[in-house]
Structure 1
Amino acid sequence: MDQRRLYRTIEKITNQPAETEEQILINVLKEVVASPEFNVKGGRIWKLTPSKTKYKLIAQEGAIDKIREGFTINVSDYPIFEVIAKERTVLATETNEYLRKKGIFKYSATGVGEKVKGEKFPLYQYLMAFSADEINEDLFYTLNIIGTALTATLRNRKLERKSKQLIEDIDDAAELQKRILPAHDFKFSGYEMFGVSIPDRIVGGDFFDYLEVGEDGDRLGVVVADVANKGFAAAAEAFYVSAALRMGASYQTQLSSLMKRLNNLVYKIFPNDRFVSLFYIELTSDGSGYCTYCNAGHNSPILFRSKTKSIELLESTGPLIGPAYNSKFKTSIVKLEKDDFLVIYTDGISEAMNEEGEEYGEARLIEKVKELQDKSAKEITQLLIEDVQKYSARAVYSDDKTIVTLKRVE
C-alpha cells in the first residue's frame, strides 16, 4: 500500500468513536489484522506498567493461540526495546519461551505514544506487535507508518483536551499561519503562479511558498507541502518546515542536499509527528524552461502540455520527509514550454469525499485540468478549488486543501 494512503487509512480508523486511547489502539489492531491489505495473521498491544519495568498485554487479535490475560514481559529481558526507543520499529525473533509456545517466533513491533524515561533508556507507552507468515521490510515500513499515525492521534487527543484553555489564542494562531503563506499570485521571468490553501480547521498542516534562491534573483523555488496531521500540531510543524526551507533556499544549497538536511531536521525535532510530503520545483530566469524538481513522497503534480494537449505526472523522486534519518532524495528535470502549466496539490484535493464517501480522485482532477487548459494560473486554481469544495460540501471527513498552479506564459 502506498505510504501516504496507508497513513490516511490508519487516520480514518482512528477517527472512529472511542472513549479512551486504548480503545483507539484496539480499533486499529482489529482493522489491521482483519484487512488482507496488511497481510498479518495476528497482533498484540502491550502497555508499559507504572513501574516502567514491564509491559502488560492489554489486547490481542488474530488466528494465533491466545496469550493468558494480564501476561507481562520484563523490559530487562528485551534489549531490543532500546532499539525501538531509537528507531520506533523493529523486526525481531521472540525469546520468551511462553510466547514461543504460543507460536510466536518472529514478530515486528512498533512504539506508540509518548516516550517516558526508563531505568536505562526511554520506553514507549505502548508497543504494537504483529505476526505474519513473512516478516520483511514491507511489514517494517507498514508498522512504522502505523506507529507514527497512532502516536500522532494520541498526541492530538491530548492537545484537543487542552484546546479549551487556549481558545483565546486561536485567532492569533490563524493569523500566524497566514503569515507563512505568500500572496496568492506571483510572477517570475515568464512564469505566473497562483496558490490557495484552505485549512480544514482553523489552522492546518498544508502550506505553499515562493522562495528566492540565493541573492542574484535568477532562481525561484515553488514549494507545496503537507504535514501528515491536523490542527495545531500540524500547523506548528508547518511553521518549522516553512522557515527551514526559506533559510536553506537563501544559501543556494543543491536541492537534493536541501531535502536531506530538511529531512534530518524534521526527524530530530518532531519525533512523534514527522511525516511531511513535499514537492519543490526550481525555476530559472534564463528562458530555457528547464526546471529542477524533487518530489518527496507527495501527490504527483499534473503537467499539462499545451502543444500536444497531453498530461504528464511528476512522480516521486524520494521518500516522505521525516520517517528515516539520512534518507536520500533524487532530483529530476522537466522542461516547460510556453502555455504549459503545472498543477501542484495536496491529498486533501484528490481524496476529498462526497456524502457517499466517494473520493474526488486523481482521474476527475485530471479531466478538470484539461477543461481549464486555456485559463490563467489564477483561474485554474480558483476553479479547481471551487469544484472540489462543491463536491465535498456534505462530506463527514475532510482535510486541508492546497493547490498551486504554475504556468509558463512567455
Structure 2
Amino acid sequence: MKDKFYEENIYLKKTLDLIGELVIITDYHGNIIYHNDYLSQIVDESPTNIKDLIDSGSFSELKDSKKETNVKINEKNYPVEVEHFSKYIIITSVNQKRENIKLKDKLDDLQTQLNKASLIHEVNLPKNLPELEKLSFSSYYQPAEYHLGGDMYDVIEVDHGAMSVFFDHVVSYVVDVTGHGLDSTLLSTFVKDSIDSYFMNKHNEGEMVVPSRILEHLKDLFLQEGYPGDYFVTILIGVFDLNLQEFMYSSAGMQYPTLVINRNNGKLKKLDCGGIPISSAVPEEVMSYKDYNIKLDNEDIVVLYTDGIAEQRNEKNEEYFDRLLSVLENNYSLSVTELVDKIVKDFDEFLGHNGLEDDITLLMARFK
C-alpha cells in the first residue's frame, strides 16, 4: 500500500516538474502541498509554507484573489493567476494558463488519492475502545482543517493466553508524524502496523510488556524502510498493568507531558519523559528510550494527547494548554466520557472562528 501511494505521488510530482514555469499548490493555511522544480530554481531552500516566501498579508490577499496578480519572491515580482480548486489554491505563472486544464486533471487525480488516504486513516483509527472491569477509556480525534490526518492512537488488550491469570496488560499510545498529506497518513499507518507486528512477532505470552522495547522495534522497522530524513515520528506508549495497578510509559519526542489526575483532589501530575523523535536524520545510537513507572490509585485518570490540542491558538493568539489543565482540574470527578465531552465543548468555545492548525487527539483512561 505504501509503495502504491508513493509511486502515485512521484508521478504527480514529475508531471508538475514538466511544466516550465511556476506552479504552487497550497491549502488555505498556506501549507505547500506541491510545487514544481521551477520554485527550487528561484529559492535556496524548499519551503513548507508559502508565508515563508511572501508575507502573511500578501498571502491573505492571495487567498481571497480569483484573478491575475503579482507575488514577490526574493525581491522579484512574478505575475501569477490564482485559482481555487476544492480545498486548494493553485498559483501558476500567467504564461502557464493553457497548462491549467492539464493541471486540474492532475488535481482531480490528487483529490482521488487524498480521498483514498483519508479512508485508510479512518479505517485504522479504533472504532470502539475496550470497557474493562478495572479500566475505562474515552477518546476524541479531529483532523486539522483542509488536511489529511497525521495523528494516530489505539488501545490494545494484550493476549497472554494461558498466562492471563498472572499478566493483565493494556497498551495505549498516541502518535504524531510530520506533515499533513498522503505521506503523513501513510507514515501513521506504518506506525500502527509496526506496533501490531510487535505483538504478533516479538512478544511472548506471559512476558512483561515494556514500552521502550516497542519503540525500539518501531525504530528498527522505520530505519529499514529508508524513510527520508525529514520524516519524523513522535509517540508516547503507555502500558497499564491491571494487576499491579501501575502505568509504565516511554516517549519518543512528545513535547507535552502525559497528565495524571489525582482522584482525591483533582491535582495534576505532569509525567515528563522526553525522548528523541524517530527519524533517519537522528543517529541511531541517540535514539535510545527509557521506561518510567507510576503507581495509580482507583479513580485516577491518565490523559494522553498530541501537541495539536495544546498548541492550538484562538483569535486572541492564546494557546489552549493552560485552559486544558484548568478543565481537567475542575471536572476530575466526571467519568472519562463526560470529561472528554467537557473538554471538546470547551475547546470549541475557545477556538471560535479559527480553523484547526493541527490534528487533535485525546485519549483518556481511568482506573476503576
How high is the TM-score relative to the length of structure 2? 0.65
Aligned letter for 1:239?
Answer: T
Q: CA 1:376 to 1:396, structure 2 compared with 1: closer, same or farther past 3 Å?
A: closer
What residue in structure 1 maps to residue 349 of structure 2?
390
Deviations 1:191-247 (A, max 9, x none): 101112111145311111012334335211001111121122111100000110111
Secondary structure of 1:187 counterpart: coil
Q: CA 1:16 to 1:359, structure 2 compared with 1: closer, same or farther past 3 Å?
A: farther
Cα distance in 2 for partners of 1:275, 1:17 equals 18
Q: Are 1:165 and 2:109 counterparts? A: yes
What residue in structure 2 maps to residue 320 of structure 1?
277
Give the share of equivalent positions with the same residue, in percent.
21
Secondary structure of 2:199 counterpart: helix
Q: Which runs of 5+ in 1 are unaligned?
A: 1-12, 33-58, 60-159
Instruction: Tell me which of 101, 121, 125 is aligned to 1:181.
Output: 125
Instruction: Tell me which of 7, 21, 25 is aligned to 2:45.
Output: 25
Q: Are 1:399 and 2:358 counterparts? A: yes
Task: After TM superposition, list the pairs within 5 Å mapping 1:221-370 onto structure 2.
Answer: 221-250=171-200, 251-252=202-203, 254-269=210-225, 270-286=227-243, 288-298=244-254, 299-322=256-279, 323-324=281-282, 325-326=284-285, 327-360=287-320, 362-370=321-329
Cα distance in 2 for partners of 1:163, 1:331 equals 45
Q: CA 1:168 to 1:300, structure 2 compared with 1: closer, same or farther past 3 Å?
A: same
Question: How far 1:393 sits from its partner (Å)?
Answer: 3.7
Aligned letter for 2:309?
Answer: I
Cα distance in 1 for partners of 2:260, 2:34 equals 42
Secondary structure of 1:321 counterpart: coil
Q: CA 1:16 to 1:172, structure 2 compared with 1: closer, same or farther past 3 Å?
A: closer
User: 271-280 or 368-377, which moves further after superposition?
Assistant: 271-280
What residue in structure 1 maps to residue 155 of structure 2?
210
Question: How far 1:319 sits from its partner (Å)?
Answer: 1.4
Question: How far 1:268 sits from its partner (Å)?
Answer: 4.1
What residue in structure 2 maps to residue 378 of structure 1?
337
Retained in 1: the 8 A contact 2:152–2:188?
yes
Question: How far 1:366 sits from its partner (Å)?
Answer: 0.6
Q: Which runs of 5+ in 2 are unaligned?
A: 1-28, 53-73, 75-103, 204-208
Question: How far 1:392 sits from its partner (Å)?
Answer: 2.0
Task: After TM superposition, list the pairs within 5 Å mapping 1:27-176 onto structure 2.
Answer: 163-176=107-120
Question: How far 1:168 sits from its partner (Å)?
Answer: 3.0
Retained in 1: the 8 A contact 2:150–2:176?
yes
Cα distance in 1 for partners of 2:34, 2:215 equals 38
Aligned letter for 2:194?
Answer: A
Cα distance in 2 for partners of 1:26, 1:271 equals 15
Retained in 2: the 8 A contact 1:354–1:393?
yes
Q: CA 1:25 to 1:188, structure 2 compared with 1: closer, same or farther past 3 Å?
A: same
Question: How far 1:363 sits from its partner (Å)?
Answer: 1.7
Retained in 2: the 8 A contact 1:352–1:388?
no
Cα distance in 2 for partners of 1:374, 1:249 equals 35
Aligned letter for 1:164?
Answer: D
Retained in 2: the 8 A contact 1:302–1:342?
yes
Deviations 1:356-381 (A, max 9, x none): 33322x22111111122011111112
Q: Which has the higher contact order (CA 8 A, sep 6+)?
A: 2
Secondary structure of 1:193 counterpart: strand
Retained in 1: the 8 A contact 2:210–2:248?
no
Question: How far 1:26 sits from its partner (Å)?
Answer: 8.1
Cα distance in 1 for partners of 2:253, 2:300 equals 24
What residue in structure 1 maps to residue 65 of structure 2?
none
